[in-house]
């Protein structure tokens, strides 16, 4: 990843300004990009001297490549099987010997006599597959294999001056010459894929020269949004739920061209390492489809062997894709991601465990494709329609016409009997989008706006110009409809500039900068607002989010955002809120068709139970009048399942205030269920486990409350697997390994549990578990129920055994709860270790007490505590600030710094705000910890120590100690 943060930040600011002035301008959208926008995928090939079995001699490698039967047509044909429109050739790679697969007049590293690059470019041109050349800026691996791969003497003689290729500046000059040579030799190349920037390139305007000399070529940059580049490539993102939904880790909003760069062999190196590594078909096809559903290009990395052929597992996957993709090609190629800038139904998590994406035909989204990547546990798919009136639905693979229903803001596809193993695709024909007020007729104001991003951007009709809250939360946005009008729901399109949940990527903390808790008010005059008409939490999810209001008439609508999902551990996203558009709809599209099963209005009613209109409900109606006991009830007499067992029963209900339902199953004693209150015209859901018998069952709903809730519908599905746990986020302080001094120790422990999913948690209990001999002061914290976005937190004091020094201890902090009647737990550890006797202070770099700025935490198995801080240096914010460094007396001490580094780099150490002292270090390999030391003068009591480098990249930091 590039390390010139100040330079990059300036460029990002420049492109943001250009976007606000001209959304389709400059490098964000350009005609040279069109072929890539029309594509679905690319093939990334790491291949070079160190491809197993590694070669240490360039000529010997070239001989074995040729004698092994290398053919450019093989690579091109395999790319076409994958539906790939381009190949990225990564041979001039720092870990593969800096090999150049073309005859070169510039000495300095391996160059072949045979023109492999030229042959590949010509073979690709003949079959409409473009070739992009990978270029690295990184000289640090020049002797990784024990042999020097960069020839500084030869290059110095060529340049007529002394140049050290193992330095960044020298390597920058050398690779700069290679860019120029390639541009002169290969006019049919499609561009460069650049792995990080180099200061020499920037200072000598390399990218501007490429634009001038080869204006049709594309430029892509790895993991960094450099505005002059055409493409932002996201390298190997993992940790999503579901694992295949790669776009959840993306942070670049459309229409920026974005690649998802990932390995096809599930394990092993990026290059062929001699092992046989399988391809996970489920993971890989899911990534392929979900990337298309977010207008991202799947840049799939395969591992060619020395002769160019792929291992059998990869060839098998390519052959599979050659037959699997063509029947659904229309839904993948030449389409855009649905639910975003280009319109379309809502992607993401749907009903009964279903998950998928939507793609739309360009030019209005009248034809859309619903990709069900994870099928539901039932025979229907239900997703938000985003205002599109649906006229027909068919199975794209088979052409079968599907039954469907549309009401209350949802499209339900019914009676699905045939599921593809990896992606069931439904072609959805629409009559366009309906019932939204013209954005130009609305006016927007906000309680806070950042300069250049005013509230007017919310209603300007453009997703490329956005409102920014100026880091102020809570914040409110008010929409003026011009006069009192009907309002059914808001469609909120937030800026897609952050991942969907907290994660670490390449040592940088990331989190979702999306709305969490919100309130909506309406008013006729803009002064008197009354009680909120909606209060809740919005999902941390990509795509347009709907906020149903019920039947409201008002001139003014105010959305109050109380907080976002981002936590303080990710300062780039914390309390930052950006919204592209907020639209107001006055009605829901309704399409005639089959009714959704188990709607309340079609069931038998007794007593005061009655049908009432409910536009936001399934079928446009609900049953009200429950309350006062079993005499006022709804009886579902034909709830049919194939086999006896426990099932998930979901009840969609409405209530203005908290209430309850009484659920009776086949005459058994009723189950009492708490129903939350919000809006009497907007359904919410509650799920519980119920025992059902094979065949028809009777489920009766009543309420013992004086005024019971309304009932919209039931949904019955198999229980999820026993291993299922809804996604939660649990943070524990102190974080990281904690070093303790001699004697008895007391430790303050805090924990917070947050529910990030729709399924509720019941009987929640949060508390630490004391190790043997330790004591806990403070009671467990509990909650009867937790719903989406809600938190539970507590603080306790733990004390080690008296009369002895503290010993090593791992203190679990455990959240215990039930999900659908099943017990589950989530646990985080607080780790305590005794400080070595020769140290008066010791603290991990990743300790939660430290200030990390824009640096981030990453795993490091050999490091103390298993973690370290990386991305240090390059600007003043990329540092680690150790506060409360306590020593017993004022004098000079030795500061020990544990670190990892590959090459030569420097820290600067600043004590108590004094003069920075440079500490130069060297090392080989970023997984090998080293220790260095520097004298420091400290005062008695608390001190601050800052580890930084304001101008250049610094080593990764493991921990510090004072001796």
Indicate if the pLDDT at residue 15 is higher than 50: no
End-to-end, the C-alpha distance of the chain in Å comes to 35
Q: In 3-state terms, what secondary structure has residue 550? A: strand
Fold of 439-585: Jelly Rolls (2.60.120)
540-555 per-residue burial string, b: 16 or more CB within 10 A, e: under 16: bbbbbbbbbbbebebb
Say what the pTM is: 0.93
103-128: average pLDDT: 98
Please state, in angstroms and rounded to a whole number, the distance separating the CA atoms of residues 760 and 729: 14
Please state, in angstroms and rounded to a whole number, the distance separating the CA atoms of residues 251 and 510: 9
- Report pLDDT for 26: 52
pLDDT digits (tens, 9 = 90+) for 359-404: 999 888 899 999 999 999 999 999 999 999 999 999 999 999 999 9
367-383 per-residue burial string, b: 16 or more CB within 10 A, e: under 16: bbbbbbbbbbbbebbbb
**Topology alike, domains 439-585 and 600-712:** yes
The residues with which 755 forms a beta bridge, in sequence order, are: 728
Cα 896 versus chain centre, distance:
37
137-145: average pLDDT: 90
What's domain 728-834's architecture? Answer: Sandwich (2.60)
Minimal CA–CA distance to 120: which of 85, 82, 71?
Answer: 71
What sign results for the dihedral spanned by CA atoms 564, 569, 573, 574?
positive
What sign results for the dihedral spanned by CA atoms 184, 186, 188, 192?
negative
pLDDT digits (tens, 9 = 90+) for 616-628: 999 999 999 999 9
Please state, in angstroms and rounded to a whole number, the distance separating the CA atoms of residues 390 and 386: 11
Contact 47, 90 (CB under 8 A): yes
Minimal CA–CA distance to 83: which of 134, 37, 120, 129?
Answer: 129
Q: Which range is least confidently modeled, 77-86, 300-309, 566-575, 922-931?
A: 922-931
Minimal CA–CA distance to 766: which of 749, 778, 753?
Answer: 753
Contact 835, 867 (CB under 8 A): no
Q: What is the CATH number of domain 600-712?
A: 2.60.120.260
Within 10 Å of residue 912's Cβ, how many Cβ atoms?
14
Please state, in angstroms and rounded to a whole number, the distance separating the CA atoms of residues 715 and 382: 11
Percent of the chain clearing pLDDT 70 (strictly above): 97
Q: Tell me the pLDDT of the chain averaged across its residues.
A: 94
Minimal CA–CA distance to 416: which of 476, 356, 460, 473?
Answer: 356
What is the domain class of 841-962 according to CATH? mainly beta
- Report pLDDT for 415: 96
406-415: average pLDDT: 97
pLDDT digits (tens, 9 = 90+) for 154-170: 999 999 999 999 988 99
Indicate if the pLDDT at residue 22 is higher than 70: no
Within 10 Å of residue 78's Cβ, how many Cβ atoms?
24
Cα 647 versus chain centre, distance:
32
Q: What is the CATH number of domain 33-324?
A: 3.20.20.80
Please state, in angstroms and rounded to a whole number, the distance separating the CA atoms of residues 383 and 370: 9
Contact 498, 466 (CB under 8 A): no
How does DSSP assign 701-731, residue by residue? EEE-SSSPPEEEEEEEEEPPPTT----EEEE
8-state DSSP, 394: E
422-439: average pLDDT: 97
Please state, in angstroms and rounded to a whole number, the distance separating the CA atoms of residues 361 and 337: 9
How does DSSP assign 413-449, residue by residue? EE------SS-EEEEEEEEEE-SBPPGGG-EEEES--
Q: Which range is least confidently modeled, 21-30, 589-598, 706-715, 918-927?
A: 21-30
Q: What is the CATH number of domain 335-433?
A: 2.60.40.1180
115-144: average pLDDT: 96
Structure confidence at residue 594 as a pLDDT band (50, 70, 90):
confident
731-741: average pLDDT: 90
Minimal CA–CA distance to 39: which of 87, 91, 90?
Answer: 87
Structure confidence at residue 509 as a pLDDT band (50, 70, 90):
confident
Indicate if the pLDDT at residue 505 is higher than 80: no
Please state, in angstroms and rounded to a whole number, the distance separating the CA atoms of residues 371 and 244: 13
Query: Could you give the angle at which helices 281-292 and 312-324 cross, rounded to 10 degrees?
Result: 50
Please state, in angstroms and rounded to a whole number, the distance separating the CA atoms of residues 148 and 554: 74
- Report pLDDT for 831: 93
Structure confidence at residue 877 as a pLDDT band (50, 70, 90):
confident
- Cα distances from 622 to residues 552, 652, 661, 880, in angstroms, run 17, 10, 15, 57
592-603: average pLDDT: 90
Indicate if the pLDDT at residue 10 is higher than 60: no
Please state, in angstroms and rounded to a whole number, the distance separating the CA atoms of residues 5 and 225: 11
Please state, in angstroms and rounded to a whole number, the distance separating the CA atoms of residues 245 and 577: 23
136-146: average pLDDT: 90
Residue labelled with tokens 């697997």: 721
Contact 145, 54 (CB under 8 A): yes
Q: For residue 33, give both structure tokens.
A: 């990009």
- Report pLDDT for 501: 87
pLDDT digits (tens, 9 = 90+) for 820-860: 999 999 999 999 999 999 999 999 999 988 988 888 888 89
The residues with which 552 forms a beta bridge, in sequence order, are: 487
Helix (H) or strand (E) holding 175: helix 168-185
Within 10 Å of residue 723's Cβ, how many Cβ atoms?
7
SS (H, E, C) 138-164: CCCCCCCCCCCCCCHHHHHHHHCCCCC
Q: In 3-state terms, what secondary structure has residue 520? A: strand
Query: What radius of gyration do the chain's Cα atoms show?
Result: 30
77-94: average pLDDT: 98
Residue boundaries of the structural domains of the chain = 33-324, 335-433, 439-585, 600-712, 728-834, 841-962
- Report pLDDT for 710: 97
Indicate if the pLDDT at residue 18 is higher than 60: no
Structure confidence at residue 609 as a pLDDT band (50, 70, 90):
very high
pLDDT digits (tens, 9 = 90+) for 313-366: 999 999 999 999 999 999 999 899 999 999 999 999 999 999 999 999 988 889
Contact 196, 1 (CB under 8 A): yes
- Report pLDDT for 430: 97
| Backbone phi, psi, residue 72, to 5° | -65, -30
Q: Which range is least confidently modeled, 199-213, 219-233, 527-541?
A: 219-233
> Kindly report the CA angle at 374 between 372 and 377, in degrees rounded to 5?
105
Q: For residue 530, give both structure tokens.
A: 């009354």
481-509: average pLDDT: 92
Q: In 3-state terms, what secondary structure has residue 373? A: strand
| Backbone phi, psi, residue 498, to 5° | -145, 155
769-785: average pLDDT: 96
Please state, in angstroms and rounded to a whole number, the distance separating the CA atoms of residues 332 and 320: 16
């Amino acid at each position: 990843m590039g390390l010139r943060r100040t330079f990059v930040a300036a460029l990002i600011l420049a492109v943001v300004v250009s976007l606000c002035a001209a959304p389709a301008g400059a490098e964000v959208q350009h005609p040279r990009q069109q072929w890539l926008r029309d594509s679905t995928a690319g093939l990334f090939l790491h291949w070079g001297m160190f491809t197993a079995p590694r070669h240490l001699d360039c000529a010997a490698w070239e001989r074995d490549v040729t004698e092994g039967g290398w053919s450019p047509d093989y690579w091109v044909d395999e790319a076409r099987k994958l539906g790939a429109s381009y190949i990225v050739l990564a041979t001039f790679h720092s870990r593969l010997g800096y090999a150049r697969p073309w005859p070169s007049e510039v000495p300095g590293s391996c160059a072949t006599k045979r023109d492999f690059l030229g042959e590949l470019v010509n073979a690709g041109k003949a079959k409409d597959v473009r070739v992009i050349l990978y270029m690295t800026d990184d000289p640090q691996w020049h002797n990784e294999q024990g042999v020097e791969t960069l020839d500084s003497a030869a290059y110095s003689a060529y340049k007529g001056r002394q140049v050290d290729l193992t330095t960044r500046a020298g390597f920058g000059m050398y690779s700069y010459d290679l860019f120029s040579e390639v541009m002169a030799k290969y006019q049919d190349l499609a561009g460069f894929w650049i792995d990080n920037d180099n200061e020499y390139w920037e200072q000598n305007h390399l990218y501007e020269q490429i634009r001038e000399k080869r204006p049709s070529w594309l430029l892509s940059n790895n993991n960094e949004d450099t505005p002059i580049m055409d493409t932002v490539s996201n390298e190997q993102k993992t940790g999503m739920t579901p694992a295949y939904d790669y776009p959840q880790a993306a942070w670049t909003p459309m229409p920026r061209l974005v690649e998802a760069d990932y390995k096809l062999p599930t394990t092993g190196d990026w290059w062929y390492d001699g092992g046989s590594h399988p391809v996970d078909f489920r993971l890989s096809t899911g990534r392929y489809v979900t990337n298309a559903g977010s207008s991202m290009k799947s840049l799939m990395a395969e591992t060619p062997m020395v002769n160019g052929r792929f291992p059998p597992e990869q060839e098998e996957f390519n052959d599979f894709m050659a037959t699997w993709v063509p029947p659904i090609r229309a839904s993948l190629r030449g389409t855009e991601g649905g639910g975003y800038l280009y319109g379309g139904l809502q992607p993401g998590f749907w009903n009964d465990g279903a998950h998928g994406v939507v793609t739309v035909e360009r030019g209005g989204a009248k034809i859309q494709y619903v990709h069900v990547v994870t099928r539901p546990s039932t025979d229907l798919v239900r997703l938000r329609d985003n205002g599109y009136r649906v006229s027909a639905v068919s199975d794209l693979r088979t052409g079968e016409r599907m039954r469907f229903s549309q009401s209350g803001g949802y499209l339900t596809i019914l009676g699905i009997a045939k599921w593809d193993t990896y992606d069931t695709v439904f072609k959805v024909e629409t009559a366009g989008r309906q019932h939204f007020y013209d954005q130009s007729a609305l006016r927007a104001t906000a309680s806070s706006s950042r300069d250049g991003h005013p509230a007017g951007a919310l209603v300007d009709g453009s997703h490329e110009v956005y409102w920014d809250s100026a880091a102020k939360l809570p914040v409110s946005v008010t929409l003026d409809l011009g006069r009192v009008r009907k309002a059914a729901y808001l469609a909120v399109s937030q800026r897609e500039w952050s991942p969907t949940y907290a994660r670490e990527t390449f040592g940088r903390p990331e989190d979702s900068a999306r709305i969490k808790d919100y309130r909506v008010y309406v008013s006729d005059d803009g002064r008197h607002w009354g009680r909120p008409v909606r209060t809740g939490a919005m999902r941390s999810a990509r795509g347009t989010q709907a906020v149903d209001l019920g039947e409201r008439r008002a001139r003014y609508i105010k959305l109050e955002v109380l907080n976002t999902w981002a936590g303080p551990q990710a300062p780039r996203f914390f309390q930052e809120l950006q919204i592209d558009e907020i639209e107001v709809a006055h009605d829901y599209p309704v399409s005639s068709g089959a009714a959704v099963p188990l709607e309340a209005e079609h069931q038998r009613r007794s007593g005061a139970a009655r049908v009432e209109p409910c536009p936001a409900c399934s079928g446009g109606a609900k049953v009200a009048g429950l309350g006062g006991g079993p005499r006022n009830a709804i009886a579902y007499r034909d709830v049919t399942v194939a086999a006896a067992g426990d099932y998930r029963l979901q009840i969609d209900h409405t209530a203005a205030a908290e209430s309850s339902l009484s659920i009776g199953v086949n005459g058994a004693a009723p189950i009492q269920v708490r129903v939350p209150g919000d809006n009497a015209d907007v359904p919410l859901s509650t799920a519980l486990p119920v025992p059902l018998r094979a065949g028809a069952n009777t489920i009766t709903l009543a309420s013992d409350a004086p005024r019971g809730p309304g009932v919209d519908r039931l949904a019955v599905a198999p229980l999820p697997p026993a291993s299922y746990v809804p996604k939660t986020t649990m943070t524990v302080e102190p974080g990281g390994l904690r070093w303790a001094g001699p004697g008895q120790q007391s430790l303050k422990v805090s924990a917070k549990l947050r529910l990030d999913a729709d399924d509720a948690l019941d009987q929640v209990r949060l508390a630490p578990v004391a190790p043997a001999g330790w004591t806990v002061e403070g009671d467990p914290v509990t909650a009867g129920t937790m719903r989406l976005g809600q938190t539970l937190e507590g603080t306790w004091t733990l004390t080690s055994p008296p009369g002895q020094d503290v010993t090593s201890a791992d203190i679990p902090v455990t959240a215990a709860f039930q999900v659908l009647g099943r017990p589950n737990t989530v646990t985080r550890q607080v780790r305590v270790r005794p400080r070595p006797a020769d140290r008066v202070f010791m603290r991990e770099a990743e300790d939660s007490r430290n200030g990390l700025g824009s640096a981030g935490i990453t795993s490091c198995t050999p490091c103390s505590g298993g973690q370290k801080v990386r991305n240090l240096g390059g600007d003043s914010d990329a540092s680690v600030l150790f506060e409360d460094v306590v020593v017993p007396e004022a004098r000079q001490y030795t500061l020990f710094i544990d670190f990892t580094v590959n090459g030569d780099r420097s820290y600067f150490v600043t004590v108590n705000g004094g003069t920075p002292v440079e500490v130069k270090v060297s090392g080989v390999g970023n997984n090998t910890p080293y220790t260095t030391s520097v004298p420091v003068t400290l005062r008695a009591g608390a001190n601050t120590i800052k580890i930084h480098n304001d101008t250049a990249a610094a080593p990764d930091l493991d921990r510090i100690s004072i001796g």
